[in-house]
A and B are shown apart, each in its own frame.
Chain A
Amino acid sequence: MTPLEIIQAYERYWLENGHRPPSVYAFARQIEIPESEFYAHYSSFSAIEKDFWKQIFDETIQQLQQDATYQGYTAREKLLAFYYLWIQKLREHRSYILLQKNRLFLPSPQGFQLETFRHAFLDYVEKLVKLGIENKEIKSRKFLSDQYKYGFWAQLLFVLKYWIYDESKQFELTDAAIEKAVNLSFDLVGSHTLDRIVDFGRFLLMKKA
């Protein structure tokens, strides 16, 4: 079995049972592979859960890279395109993700499911920010520019949460949310507004002489 097939089997197990398998042994038996084959790919269920998110991210990026239109996009448009495709891919796994929603956003004793994905996304968005700075969509700011990516990660969590709770037809409100959130974030990193906010924050934190 390939790692991908193990992820699929694990997802199926959740869909049918609504909880984690009792043990790797039981899970391996159910999907008819020796336990050793499981451990060859994954050290634990948490590792599968993390890889699930990373796989979807990798697929999304791969598909985007092959798209000629995507190559011609600005940083803002690239991020939009990423979100739309990513959400579209998540749709195929919506039932599984809804089962995970309470374990998703907070690190639990079983690990933080989004962690591997988070690292990959931060790398991706860091490149986008560089591109944005090159073509003047994003203002380069001392110290601050390096922190943008964390802001975008927060935005991604917002989009994910919005989609999880979205009940509109074809999730069209998520589309609207993505459009508005990305436009707002790029307006912030592109304009003077952010500088003013930082300046104001610094002022408030300043110790009164």
Chain B
Amino acid sequence: MNPVKEQQSIPTGKVERAARFAFTGAKLGVNYVKHYTRKLLDPDTPREALHEANAEDIYEVLSSLKGSALKVAQMLSLDRGLLPRAYAERFALSQYSAPPLSGPLVVNTFLKTLGKTPAQLFDRFNPHATHAASIGQVHEAWKNGRKLAVKIQYPGVAHSVKSDLRIVKPIAIRIVGLQEADMDQYFEEVETKLLEETNYRLELERSQELSRLCSQIPSLIFPTYYPEYSSDRIITMDWLEGLHLQDFLATQPTQDIRNQAGQALWNFYQFQIHHLRKVHADPHPGNFLFQPDGRVGIIDFGCVKEIPQDFYENYFALTRPELLRNEAHRRQIFRDLGILHPSDTEKEIQFFTELFQHLIDLTTLPFQQETFDFGDEGFFDRIYSYTDYVYSLPEVRHSKIVRGTRHSLYINRTYFGLYSILGDLKAQVKTSWRHIDELAAYLPR
């Protein structure tokens, strides 16, 4: 891994951040104008070109900002199925690296929250960060012959989350093009989750709890956490070796090894969702460390989504075709999930039911099969081309009604993240409901 380059300046005050966002807003406006003029001259100008231009500008701005803005970028990047592809590709870049804290600030954070300097606490401490997380950075340390990873948070992060989101909001609404009032529940969900992520004590608790509960699942590695070296702004855990997904794939692992890693990830997620009802909802590639033997190390439980019972039942009813055959029942489920809106006319109900049913059939395919080959590119292409098709429909593009609920946000994100990692792994995985039910055997007694 490349050492992090110390960035010279971080956009600081709210005003400066706001200015940057305003600048993006203006640039987006310009892009739209350009697009429509071009369209006047040449009606065939593809919308993709506009998306591409917008994505680039937004990415440039977001990636020079720290904290929650970066998180929002990461989040949008994972909703590949929901966002046009051009956005997704640019945003994927933001999943790595952000600028670091100075050495003295690191020492100060230790002194303030643990009462000792890193030199006093550890046998050895590397003052240079090895890599950056979006709201912090990671240092190497050694204690009693063990190598540790020490994650340190930027000061004042929680403060900037709220003000950042207020600034990001109009832009996000513009990208997605939906009614502002309806988006509020999503922003509230994102805000709660982001604020939780700045709470390192909560993260430590959850990391310890979920690692313990998932420890029986084969082929997974969890670091040990050290509460005695952790505080509001520091988390210390064992250093895990391993490669990030792209580097791992570059070593050309065999099909068996990729299957093993893929199966481990599938089991990890389904076990949490179906047997624990709370899930590590941040499946971006930086949180997984792949071992040469196909085992997977899992770090960063900053973002955990707890799944309410009624949402769970409705959401997963979608993966059980037998439950959707009864039309009245299906409508009820769609209504409860917010896919159908109370204001919909009968014609709209039929239109959207058909659209979503097809999307569900496509995306829940793995659940219907004993084993599923995520290397099947046709599977992803069908999903992408269908979502592109859906977005091209005037009824959808011109509809300003938000469809979905706040809970589906992080669960969708988790599944899209999981699918896209399994897709990159080209893994063949046992995916059936029977297999998912059997995972209950891994519950600790």
Whether the pair B9, A187 counts as a contact (CB closer than 8 A) is yes
Measured in the bound complex, the distance between the Cα atoms of B12 and A88 in whole Å is 23
8 Å CB contacts to B: which residues of A158-179? 168-170, 172-173, 175-176, 178-179
Chain B residues with CB under 8 Å of A80's CB are 102-105
Measured in the bound complex, the distance between the Cα atoms of B107 and A83 in whole Å is 12
Whether the pair A81, B10 counts as a contact (CB closer than 8 A) is no
Q: Which residue of A lies closest to B10 (CB)?
A: A180
Chain A residues with CB under 8 Å of B103's CB are 69, 73, 77, 80-81
Interface 0/1 of A65-87, CB less than 8 Å to B: 00011000100110011011100
Nearest CB on A from B7, distance (A): 9
Whether the pair B107, A168 counts as a contact (CB closer than 8 A) is no
Chain A residues with CB under 8 Å of B154's CB are 176
8 Å CB contacts to A: which residues of B285-320? none
Chain A's interface size range is 20 to 34
Given the known inter-chain contacts A179-B102, A187-B8, please indicate yes or no for A172 contacting B155, CB distance below 8 A: yes
The reply to whether the CB of A99 lies closer than 8 angstroms to some CB of chain B is no
Whether the pair B104, A73 counts as a contact (CB closer than 8 A) is yes
Chain B residues with CB under 8 Å of A106's CB are none
Chain B's interface size range is 20 to 34
Given the known inter-chain contacts A77-B102, A184-B9, A187-B9, please indicate yes or no for A170 contacting B107, CB distance below 8 A: no
Chain B residues with CB under 8 Å of A68's CB are 119
The reply to whether the CB of B108 lies closer than 8 angstroms to some CB of chain A is yes
Nearest CB on A from B354, distance (A): 52
8 Å CB contacts to A: which residues of B103-155? 103-105, 107-109, 111-113, 117, 119, 127, 154-155
Chain B residues with CB under 8 Å of A83's CB are 104
Measured in the bound complex, the distance between the Cα atoms of B136 and A89 in whole Å is 26
The reply to whether the CB of B101 lies closer than 8 angstroms to some CB of chain A is yes
The reply to whether the CB of A36 lies closer than 8 angstroms to some CB of chain B is no
The reply to whether the CB of B232 lies closer than 8 angstroms to some CB of chain A is yes
For the residues of B in contact with A, the DSSP-based class is loop
Measured in the bound complex, the distance between the Cα atoms of B10 and A183 in whole Å is 9
8 Å CB contacts to B: which residues of A79-118? 80-81, 83-85, 88
Measured in the bound complex, the distance between the Cα atoms of B105 and A69 in whole Å is 13
Chain A residues with CB under 8 Å of B159's CB are 168, 172-173
Nearest CB on B from A139, distance (A): 15
Interface 0/1 of B80-113, CB less than 8 Å to A: 0000000000000000000001111101110111
8 Å CB contacts to A: which residues of B155-194? 155-156, 159
Whether the pair A173, B156 counts as a contact (CB closer than 8 A) is yes
Nearest CB on B from A147, distance (A): 22
Of B107, B117, B155, the contact of A176 (CB 8 Å cutoff): B155
Interface 0/1 of A104-140, CB less than 8 Å to B: 0000000000000000000000000000000000000
Whether the pair B107, A69 counts as a contact (CB closer than 8 A) is yes
Given the known inter-chain contacts A73-B104, A77-B103, please indicate yes or no for A180 contacting B12, CB distance below 8 A: yes
Whether the pair B108, A168 counts as a contact (CB closer than 8 A) is no
Whether the pair B232, A84 counts as a contact (CB closer than 8 A) is no
Chain A residues with CB under 8 Å of B8's CB are 183, 187
Measured in the bound complex, the distance between the Cα atoms of B111 and A73 in whole Å is 18
Nearest CB on A from B101, distance (A): 7
Given the known inter-chain contacts A88-B111, A187-B9, please indicate yes or no for A168 contacting B105, CB distance below 8 A: no
* Chain B interface residues toward A at CB < 8 A: 8-10, 12, 101-105, 107-109, 111-113, 117, 119, 127, 154-156, 159, 232-233
- Listed A/B pairs (28) with beta-carbon separation below 8 Å: A68-B119, A69-B117, A77-B102, A77-B104, A80-B104, A81-B103, A83-B104, A84-B104, A84-B105, A84-B107, A84-B111, A85-B108, A168-B159, A170-B112, A172-B155, A172-B159, A173-B155, A175-B105, A176-B155, A179-B102, A179-B105, A180-B10, A180-B12, A183-B8, A183-B9, A183-B102, A184-B9, A187-B9
Closest 3 CB pairs of A and B: A84-B108, A81-B104, A80-B104
